[in-house]
Amino acid sequence: MPDFQAILEAIYQDTINVSDKGTIASYIPELAHIDKGNFGIHLRTSDGKSYGVGDYKKPFSTQSISKVLALSKAMALIGESTWERVGVEPSGHPFNQLALLEIEHGIPRNPLINSGAIVIADILVSNLKNPKEDFLKYVRELTGDVTISFNKDVAHSEKITGFKNYAAANLLKSFKNLNNLVEDVLDFYFHLCSLEMTCSQLSNAFYLFANNGKCLRNKLHINDKQVKRINALMLTCGFYDEAGEFAFEVGLPGKSGVGGGIVALLPDHFVITTWAPGLNKKGNSKLGMLALEQFTTKAKLSVF
């Protein structure tokens, strides 16, 4: 077993001084004002150990990372029916997502692009009594941490700038692939985006995907096959238009968010979460990508 704490510290030292730390997401003030100097890494291994370095206890906006948690909840609730409403294949380049949705008659390519996650949000709105509260309860249960919450300001900012998401939701509605009101689904969706978590909380929440569907407290939430599906989706669709690059550089299933977080995992081995708010041109955390590449190289643990 490698000395993980030493590895994380070495990576942190190597990476923290990189001069080009990328660009902060600036479409909403809550993200635009984050300090680019933040950098944290947290690792949880399947044997229950936990390692951290830097700002791994500082909460940040999970953004698209929460799409994976939403997906897992939807699959737990309605199982294979999920795939009647959303596909499982990579979507290619991002500039024409609405075009793709039009051509494919309202079935999003996969649940990790925005239009797909809006369909997942619709499923949760239909199947949870109090969608926001119940989803939060789910995440708190996964992590054993009742402090996790939405950031109302972020949710509000997402809403008032989220015209492309409104366009996508209305287009889905026109194809009858949205059962609830656009406003209700997007309200839930924007709250999902606003979920705030630390690196260690994210490692803990994603633990079930590295542990056959059982969360940290050993409760089974989804079955083996569903875990496999989610990991396959993260591997092929988890990084916007950089899924191929991430598969190469890091070689793990994972998901990034424009808040600068990345969660990646190796089944039966570990979950690792990084946070550094500066993004590369494709919208993925610059230092995070570097750190994860180094980790899989140094720890000799990747799918390849």
Catalytic residue list: 64, 67, 189, 240, 258
Closest CA to 213 of 233, 232, 227, 230: 227
Give the nearest distance from C-beta 208 to its own copies in angstroms. 13
> Scanning residues 24 to 83, which ones bind its own copies (CB under 8 A)?
none
Give the nearest distance from C-beta 210 to its own copies in angstroms. 10
* Residue 113 interacting with its own copies (CB under 8 A): no
- CB burial of residue 3 (10 Å; 0-12, 13-18, 19+): exposed
287 contacts 15 by C-beta, under 8 angstroms: yes
The tokens of 298 are what? Answer: 């140094």
Which part of the chain contacts its own copies (CB under 8 A), choosing from 18-26, 34-42, 68-76, 159-167? Answer: 159-167
Give the H or E element holding residue 155: helix 152-161
* Residue 289 interacting with its own copies (CB under 8 A): no
> Scanning residues 179 to 198, which ones bind its own copies (CB under 8 A)?
182
Which part of the chain contacts its own copies (CB under 8 A), choosing from 31-39, 61-69, 124-132, 234-242? Answer: 234-242
> Scanning residues 250 to 269, which ones bind its own copies (CB under 8 A)?
251, 253, 267
How many CA within 13 A on the CB side of residue 24? Answer: 15
d(CA 22, CA 17): 12
By CB under 8 A, name the binding residues for its own copies. 87-93, 95-96, 98-100, 102-104, 109-110, 163-164, 166-168, 170-171, 173-174, 182, 227-229, 231-233, 235-237, 241-245, 247-248, 251, 253, 267, 303-304
